[in-house]
Amino acid sequence: MKTYPGISASPGLVVGQVSRLEWERNTFSHTPLNPEKEQTLLEGAIRTAQAELQVMQDGSAESEQAIFMFQSMLLEDEGFMSEVRSYITAGIGAAAAMERVGQRYADQMSAMVDNPYMQLRGVDILDVTQRVINILGDRPRTRLALDHPVILATEVLMPSDFFSIPSGMVLGVITSEGSTQSHAAIIARAMKIPAVVQVGRAFLDDCDGRMVVLDADNGVCILDPDSASRQQMVTRMWERQQENAELARYQTLPNRTWDGASFELLANCFGPEDIESSIQAGAAGVGLLRSSYLMLPDRVPSEQEQYFFYTSCLSVAKGRPITVRTFDLGSDRTLSNAYQGAQSAHLGLRGIRSSLLRPREFEAQICALLRAGARGPLKVMFPMVTDIEDWDAAMKIVEHCRQSLRERGVAFDENMSFGITLAVPAACLTADEFIRHGCQFFTIGTNDLTQYTHAAGREVTSAARYYQPASRAMRKLIKMVVDAAHEGGIPVTICGLAVGDPVNIVEYLRMGLRSFSVSPQNLWEAKKALVEAYAEQNERLPVPAEAEGPAAPPMPEADGPDTPPAP
Ligand code: PEP
Ligand code: MG
């Protein structure tokens, strides 16, 4: 008996025989091949691959569909496929060309050690390129034919491996490498297949055909367990079943207040991982995608990398709308502090002010967003817009990007909606002007609006008493924005940490807001608060009279306490 520690990627406990899954090396002819013929073969193989991916997508659970959608989209990607075609033109066979480009893209992404999201997409690229190579070589797409249930052991598992093996045949998964955030791990969790990753090479060399206890609750594998540990596992498996049976179920109620007003509940997200969990928790979409978190500490991602990111976000959102906020960076909120999640209280060149000073980078982002918009419902908003000059300058760049995409002949969303994040009081006070200049939606950012309205840094503990997201001043500003939006006939959403507070969200509801974007962990509480609230009760009294108290008092007793400052 020997214990191999790893990391749990999907909880569960199982005992079974191990089957080692091996990678087969591709071999290609070195003779130059007819480019036209190879090109035609490639087109056919791509069609077949996409049809196969569609079948897997249709047959998979919601959380997995996006993975196959992403793989299918790669086969239509302009940059990727034009690189493959240029190799073919140079006389390299379609399969070899696919492998070269796929490997290069995958290596590039795997090298992004500071960006786990990009690293994980590398495995998908290898998976889908191997599928096309197998089709071109008329080889089976499966890596293993199983006739009895086993625990699979391999270096790294591909998402499609799960689908090439009859269901019920995989009891568990053990990988020597791999990541808990990989797509294969996501699928394992969705399919409730216990999985442990990173057990190390020694396990693989040793395991084929032997018995293993896969204790994925604790992230360990016990090879050749003795009878005492086997018995212990069986007892724990039984106890676990009992616990699962007792798990509470969440009610799904329509998004309507007690007095019948409909509302929209969205999530504030960072990328595909939390978009997916937010959608599962009931979010109708993403009200704020903080694109800055796609950043690497030392460089801005290229148009192509961003395009992958946004399309991946769209595919996990499965048709639900996503509002992306363009990079919120600046001299006082640098690439690396945005990456680490550090906030800024400085009054410098942040958000759109900084983007306008770096037009090449801004254009790359806008082009990536416009292109991704052709793949799903994407809206774009600019952060830290202060006056109409900011808006006009940003939209001039948007128009320039549209024109350049037309010239490049690339598909993009001609009708994408553009809006602003209202975080600067000056913009709230002149909200109607933006509508007159073509702004199509507003999103109120309570985190920054609070700090700029109250001149209190959101992370400055000593000024916490001044950081009041639902103060009278805030409510006046919010009301102005809501009124301007209603008059101008454009949608308005409110986002930020304060919105996740049940007391504040009801306050905002009564001010006429019907669209809320909250942190994923607050979705259920926010929904409960809204479902139990009256929307109309205080609608005509959203802003208490000025005489009611000092400049920044706590909220009136009946409304409950103010939201604590953002962490
Ligand atoms: C906000 O300012 O309200 C907001 C949600 O943005 P961030 O927290 O990313 O500054
Ligand atoms: Mg903000």
Same domain, 200 and 302: no
Which residues, in sequence order, are CB contacts of 108 under 8 Å at separation 6+?
A: 122
**Amino acid 464: pLDDT:** 83
Same domain, 190 and 129: no
> For residue 290, how far is its CA from the centre of ligand 2 (angstroms)?
9
Is the distance from CB of 218 to CB of 195 less than 8 angstroms?
no
> For residue 444, how far is its CA from the centre of ligand 2 (angstroms)?
9
Q: Which atom of ligand 1 is nearest to the CA of 343?
A: 10
For the Cβ of 445 lying below 6 angstroms from any atom of ligand 1, the answer is yes
> For residue 438, how far is its CA from the centre of ligand 1 (angstroms)?
23
In a domain, 553, yes or no: no
| Digit-coded pLDDT (tens) for 498-556 | 998 999 999 999 999 999 999 876 788 888 889 889 998 754 444 444 433 333 323 33
Q: Residue type for 16, please?
A: G
Same domain, 339 and 443: yes
For the Cβ of 446 lying below 6 angstroms from any atom of ligand 1, the answer is yes
Give the residue numbers spanning the domain of 149.
Answer: 2-22+143-230
Last residue of a domain, one of 136, 155, 175: 136
Same domain, 373 and 286: yes
> For residue 424, how far is its CA from the centre of ligand 2 (angstroms)?
10
**CATH number of the domain that residue 174 is part of:** 3.50.30.10
**CATH number of the domain that residue 42 is part of:** 1.10.274.10
For residue 3, what are its two tokens? 């214990």
Q: What percent of the chain has pLDDT over 90?
A: 45
> For residue 277, how far is its CA from the centre of ligand 1 (angstroms)?
20
Q: Residue type for 255, please?
A: N
Lateral strand order in the sheet of 170-175 = 2-5, 220-223, 211-215, 13-20, 150-154, 170-175, 195-197, 7-10
Ligand 1, atom 7, residue with closest C-alpha: 447
In a domain, 293, yes or no: yes
The arithmetic mean of pLDDT across residues 216-237, rounded, is: 88
Pocket-testing residue among 290, 324, 333, 467, ligand 1, by greatest number of atoms within 8 A of Cβ: 290
Same domain, 447 and 512: yes
DSSP 8-class letter at 416: -
Pocket-testing residue among 288, 381, 452, ligand 1, by greatest number of atoms within 8 A of Cβ: 288
Residue 372 has pLDDT above 90, yes or no: yes
Write down the residue that tokens 């009992």 correspond to.
Answer: 242
In a domain, 294, yes or no: yes
Pocket-testing residue among 324, 326, 421, 449, ligand 1, by greatest number of atoms within 8 A of Cβ: 421
In a domain, 544, yes or no: no
H or E stretch at 2: strand 2-5
For residue 364, what are its two tokens? 């790359």
Same domain, 40 and 12: no
H or E stretch at 267: strand 264-269
The pTM for the full model equals 0.61
As a residue count, the chain comes to: 567
Same domain, 345 and 376: yes
In a domain, 391, yes or no: yes
Ligand 1, atom 8, residue with closest C-alpha: 447
Question: CA angle, 518 as apex, 512 and 523 as ends, to 5°?
Answer: 105
> For residue 7, how far is its CA from the centre of ligand 2 (angstroms)?
35
Please tell me the distance from the alpha carbon of residue 440 to that of residue 434, in angstroms, as a whole number: 9
In a domain, 190, yes or no: yes
For the Cβ of 423 lying below 6 angstroms from any atom of ligand 1, the answer is yes
Same domain, 156 and 207: yes
Same domain, 39 and 16: no
> For residue 444, how far is its CA from the centre of ligand 1 (angstroms)?
9
Last residue of a domain, one of 186, 210, 230: 230
> Model confidence at 340, in pLDDT bands (50, 70, 90)?
very low
> For residue 445, how far is its CA from the centre of ligand 1 (angstroms)?
5
Same domain, 389 and 318: yes
Max mean pLDDT range (46-60, 278-292, 450-464, 487-501): 487-501
CA-wise closest residue to 506 among 529, 477, 538: 529
For the Cβ of 288 lying below 6 angstroms from any atom of ligand 1, the answer is yes
| Digit-coded pLDDT (tens) for 67-109 | 888 888 889 888 888 889 988 988 889 999 998 899 888 888 7
In a domain, 538, yes or no: no
**CATH number of the domain that residue 340 is part of:** 3.20.20.60
In a domain, 537, yes or no: no
Dihedral pair phi/psi, residue 286, rounded to 5°: -115, 115
Residue 28 has pLDDT above 80, yes or no: no
> Model confidence at 191, in pLDDT bands (50, 70, 90)?
low
Between helices 35-58 and 78-89, what is the axis angle to 10°? 150
Chain mean pLDDT for the chain: 83
CA-wise closest residue to 529 among 562, 502, 504: 502
Pocket-testing residue among 266, 268, 332, ligand 1, by greatest number of atoms within 8 A of Cβ: 268
Same domain, 270 and 401: yes
| Digit-coded pLDDT (tens) for 140-156 | 655 555 667 889 998 88
Q: For the chain, how many structural domains are there in total?
A: 3
The arithmetic mean of pLDDT across residues 428-455, rounded, is: 96
Same domain, 126 and 153: no
Is the distance from CB of 491 to CB of 515 less than 8 angstroms?
yes
Last residue of a domain, one of 84, 115, 136: 136
